[in-house]
Every structure is written in structure tokens, then in C-alpha cells.
Chain A
Amino acid sequence: MAASGGVTSSVPRVLTLWCPEWPVRAVAPIDGPLIVFDQHRVVAACAIAREAGVRTGDRKRVALRTCPNATVVPRDYVAEVQSFERVVSAVADIIPLVELLEPGSLCLDMRGPTRYFGGEHFVVDHVRSVVATQLGEEIPIGIGVADGRAASAIAARRSGFTGHQVIVEPGRTAAAFTTMSLRWFHAIGEMSIDLVELFERLGINTVSDLAALDERDVLGRFGLPGVRAYRVATGADERPLSSITPSQLPERERRFDEPLLTVTPVVFTARELASELVHELSIEGLVCTRMTVTAETEHSERSERHWYRSEGFTAAAIVDRVRWQLDSWVNEPSSVSAGVIVIRISITSVRPDDGVQHGFWGGASEADGRASRAVARLVTLCGPEGVRVPLPIGGRLPEDRYGWFPATVVDGDHHVDVLAPWPGSVVRPAPVIVPTSEVRIEVVNDRGESVGVSGRGEMTSDPVCVVIGGRSHRVVAWAGPWPLIERWWDERRRRRLARLQVVLEDGSAHLLAVEHQRWHLMGTHG
């Protein structure tokens, strides 16, 4: 009681447990570095990769450049939730009402446990020992206690890195985090990266810099998201208390006449319930931040988990959590012996919806969103090689200058740079059609002999006819030849060729090349 005694504050004391790099823990251990990605961004990396310089939030290409021999794994939420389940149940055995934040992170209200165990330190020790028994002593875990969820999440992050528990005394949040970077606010989901970067550009780098400002000024300049960040920084409650009593909060339940033996139809039902709930709350201008998902089987086996999300649950986010929870429940050995008969989603906490202000201009339009969804669907239909984006590479020949790359390896928000000038390339206009495989052609003079280019870069005679695909076309105009010697120092990639532009009698223009005394079609102005 020593820690919280005597201080009356509306902000609840919260303990957060955070397991660093949980997405990596959920993957079966392998030799060598391991990086976990989600949407082309690094979400977690093992110690070896971290040593090499891989950072969370790096783009995939950047990360692989830093650590080229790393094994790359896509994020698997279900596996993460499933492997975290034993930690959750171990903690829930000693302290009920555990709230899951995300796989690898949970929090709990300290009021009851502090009384029961006789002090915050004892609670932390108990939690640490039960988690260590589950995971093993060598896995680092972070435990932080502070006022409110956000502060305790930051405390847990800091504890995860230092290896010591972090307990912030009540009312001393700002003092405890003075030197911490605002990037932590992004890491715990309290601030968008754009806002963090805006603050940084304005010279507001640490928590104390932000806390030193005036709340009204922050509201005037940065709006509601800025004020939220400010409240976290000053240790005030990040959300004002709502006057709605829990009994008024909506709850949805669906009973199945026929027990369901697979997860998919249950999730499908949950989708319906979730959109009903979200719609009902949105009419009141509210968004759900905490909910309880309960599923029961015919044999009265029960899975109940509390989920928290500071930015609020959308219908999709609710469905995701239901699926994670059910998947990890049914995959656990000897936990389920019959079909599911009840699924229930209860909202336990709400806050006013700040809404999302769309950009006045710039930002993603409706067409952009539609296209990126279609790309995701096309990748599942045609495979990663079937959906490509055009990107500049750089070179002197049409086939080298630009290429089509699988959309999955390119960041969704890529912007195409302009190609640097390449001396020696044939300038605008570029051929529209560049054959994907070599097309052999013949170029002949008025006597029907094959035309060549001498070592001095001159035509041996005027080209009069071009034979493409067995058909002969008369040349009406031609220009060149333009010799090109590339990478003469490289045995395998060296090229020595001469290029020629011809206009044929049907009006079509072509770029031809002679290499090793043989002509091929390099491009067509189609």
C-alpha cells in the first residue's frame, strides 16, 4: 500500500506486461537472424538482426540490405496469440481480469491485487515469477506500473530494455519519463507516426518538451491527437472518465441451435455482431475501447478474454480478436471437446469518438483504397508474380531502364523516382513495346545481303529491308548506328552492340540492335 497510499487520483494504477519481440518468439527457433514483417515493415527482429542494425518500422528492402542473410517471416497473429495464451492463463490464475492489448502484451488493474498481495512490488514479483516459469528465465520481459494505461505501457517498454521492473510513483509520470523520446508514444499506439515526426521537426523530441507546453496551445495547434499525447506526457488520464455506467453498454450474444465444430462460421457470426455493436455505438458518437469476448461449448467449456485497444475497436478489429482468441483456444490441447454453442461480445468501456479527419487534399483517395484492396485480392488469385508494378532501374537499353516488379516486394506507398540521365541511351521517345524474349530479325541491303556494322561504327551498306517473323518490310527511313560498349570489365555482363532506328513502310518505327553479328528487335514504337 506504500506506493499508492494517501494519494487520491482519478487515474487508476495499471500494470503492463510486455514481452519484447513477441512475434519472433512465436516463430519456431531457427539458426541465423530472423525478421518478422507485416505490410512490408519490420515488426520484430531477433537479437542477431538487431545487432546488425535492423529497426522496427524499417521497410523490408532496407532491413534486408542491413541484414541480408536473415530469414524473413510474415506476421502470424494467430500463432502469436496462441503462444501467448499460456502467459495469459498463468497470470489470470493469480490475478483475474487480465486485459489483452495485443499478442505479447497485457495489462491489469492494480487496485485489487495491490491490496491482496500487500503492495505493488509484491504484485510485480508474483507476475514476474509466474511468467518466468512459463517462458523460462532467459526470455526478457518488461513489467511496468504507472498511472493509467499509456504511462504503464511506456514503463513496461523501458523495463523490457533495462531488464528491471519500472514502478512510477503516483503523480510522477512526467518526471519519470522526461528524457524519453516521443517515439515511444507511437510504439504503444497512442500517437501516429506523422504526429511524432511533426513534433520532432518542431524540436519537440522528448516527453518533457511536450509536457512543458500549455495544454490550450497544444489543442490549438495539434488538435485532439496532440492533446491526447499531451495528457499522456503530463501523466493525466489519457481519456476523461465517461459517465456511462457499464450496465448501459451494449452486449450481443448469438446461440447456435447446432453446435459449430469449426471456427470460421463462429467468426462469421462475430462479424455480424461486431458491426451491429460498432454501428450502435457510432450513433451515440462513441467508440469501444474495451470488450469481453466469451465463447462456450456444449460441454460448458468456456473461453473468456478481455481486450483493450486505446485507439478504439473497429468492426474488423473486433473480428480479428475473436478469431485470434478462438483459434488459440481450439488449438490448445484438451481444451475443447465439443462444438461451440454461444458467442458473446460485451462492450465494457467506451469513449467519445474523436473521429478521423480525412485530408483536405493529398492523402489516399477512395480510388487509391479501392485499387490497393484489388491488388491484395489479385495477389491471392494470380500469385505474387502475377501482379506487378512498374519501377525505374536505370540503364542504356530499353529493357534495362524500367522493369515490372512483383507488387508484394514493393511498398504500397511507393513513389516512382525520375530516372537519372544515362549518357549513351537512346533518348525520347522510348519504344512502347519491348519484347520480353529475344526476337531475331534480318536486316538486308538492296542486293539481299545481310547488313552489318563495322568495328568503326559504320554501316557496311544501307539497310533496305527488315525481315520480322518471316515477313519482309521495306525501310523508308533509318538512323544510326549508335554503338554501345557496356561493362567491358565484367566477363559475364559485358555487352557490345550497335543500335539502329528504322521506319518501315506501314509507318511503324523500330529500334534494332546488332550484337555478335546477329540482329534482334529491341523495341517497337507501337
Chain B
Amino acid sequence: MSLALESPHLQSAASLTQADSALPLSEAYAEILPHGLLRGQVVVCHGVAAYSIALGLVERAVTVGSWLAVVDLEQVSPEAIAEFGIPLHRVIGVTTGDDPANVLSAVFDGFDVVLIPAHRYRGALARRISQRIRAKGVTLIVIDDADEVGVRDAVSLGDVALIGSDMHWEGIGWGVGRLLARHLTVSATGRRSPRPLRSEMQLPAAVDVRVGQINDVASDVDDDIAGATVDDDEEYRWRLRVV
């Protein structure tokens, strides 16, 4: 009995309630956010890679069935969202217009993960928003790509702050090559973790063409078997036959 429960594909009933309060994360993020992507939490992404960090953060949650609202961020390219592995049919873009408070509460009613720009999360509105998201169990991700924001400010803004550093682009030189991949170190600072946790990652995550195709199908499978993660290539092929 205990042997069976050690299998990664089986979950005990107790772990289900845990999973309910946190949204799943990809491995690289799980290192810096050991409690998972908690519902009712505000995560602020900083720096020049803020958008990529935010998209990488929500990828797993949206893949397994949560819906993503992208609020007042018309400039975000759907192509990039898709490249991060996020299924576009669970993404909605919203423009709040003159009445952000009302529109945002309607957004919180329907979506698990919400992306907003920092200028929408300020002052009185921010206080109202943080009450609402705690009540509704929404994860709010604030994108703050303004330059020169200290980590100290960041913590006061949200529960967790993510910032990228040691950014390095692979494949490009002086007049040669092209952009291939971005490597960076993402560090998380939060109220719960005084010492920042760091993780090196590639954003968007590397995709081998062959595995990429398999991944597309596998992500559909994941819709069905919510939460189950399979790393093994052999396992993928087995599941594909089942589908």
C-alpha cells in the first residue's frame, strides 16, 4: 500500500486539498517557490525580463486547466504566450477602461491566474484588489518592468518578488548568429523567505523539435489527467498510444 503511494502518478486524498490551495509550477520555479504558486497571493515580476518570468511562472497552471486573464497588457504577443507552452484557448485579454475596480472584480470571479501591469496595482485600488484576490483564491501576477526598482520596494508591493539577473543570450555575437535562448538567474524574495532563493533557467524553456511535437499532444493529455507530470520520454509515447 505504501509502495503504491510512492508512485508519482498516485496521490493520496490528503495531497488533493494541498494541491487545491496551490497551483502547479514547472521544476525550475518549484526550486525558488517551494510552497508552489499559492492562491490569493500577489507575485511581482521585476526587471527587463519581467514578462518572460511571469509567463514561465503561469505556464504549468494554465496547461493543467486554469484560465489566464491578461489585463491591460495589449502589447503582450500571443505568439510568445504560445511559445511558453501556454494553451491559448484558455487565455483572455481584458481592457479595463474607465472602471478598473469593477472590471477587475469580474475578472477575479472567473479566472485563477491574472496578469496585470504595475500601474494598475497602486494605492487604494491595490488594497481593494488584494482583499478581493484573497477572498476569491486568485493568483495575481504584477508585471513591473520599470527600471531601477529596488527589491525592498518589491516586497512591500506583493507577497513574493521575482527578479531576473545574470542574463545571457545564446546564439548571438557581433554581427553574427541570431537569438537562440536566454539564460538567466531568477531570484525570489518574499515575506516568508528572507534570504532570496535562486534558480538558473532558460526562458522560454528549451524545446527540442521532436519533443516539442510530443509535448503538444502531451499537454492535451494533461488537461485530462490534471496535475500528473511525466518526464520520461518513454512514458510520453505510451500515453500517445492511449490517446
Contact = CB atoms under 8 A, between A and B. Distances in A.
B106 A381 contact: yes
B192 interface: no
B48 A386 contact: no
Chain B facing A: main interface SS: mixed
A507 B167 contact: yes
B227 interface: no
Contact of A365 (B65, B77, B103, B180): B65
Nearest to A403: B78
A526 B49 contact: yes
The 6 A-B residue pairs with the shortest CB-CB distance in the complex, in nearest-first order: A374-B110, A390-B78, A507-B167, A361-B224, A526-B51, A402-B78
A506 to B, nearest CB: 6
B79 interface: yes
Interface stretch (A63-71, A290-298, A429-437): A429-437
9 contacts: A378-B107, A382-B95, A392-B78, A416-B87, A427-B178, A430-B77, A432-B77, A434-B76, A434-B77
Interface of B: 48-52, 55, 65-67, 74-83, 87-97, 99, 102-103, 106-107, 109-112, 145, 147, 164, 167-169, 172-182, 184, 204, 207, 216, 223-225
Contacts of A434: 75-77
Given A415-B89, A479-B176, A402 B103 contact: no
Interface of A: 361-362, 365, 367-368, 370-375, 377-378, 381-383, 385-392, 398, 401-404, 407, 414-416, 418-419, 426-436, 459, 462, 477-480, 501, 503, 506-509, 523, 525-526
A391 B89 CA distance: 9
A433 B176 contact: no
A507 B48 contact: yes
B169 A386 contact: no
Contacts of B80: 429-432
Contact of A462 (B110, B175, B180, B182): B175
A526 B103 contact: no
Instruction: Select the residue from B78, B168, B180 with max chain A CB neighbours within 10 A.
Output: B78
B109 A507 contact: no
Nearest to A366: B65
Nearest to B171: A479
Contacts of B176: 479
A385 B184 CA distance: 37
A125 B109 CA distance: 55
A389 B87 CA distance: 12
A332 B192 CA distance: 66
Contact of A374 (B99, B107, B177, B182): B107
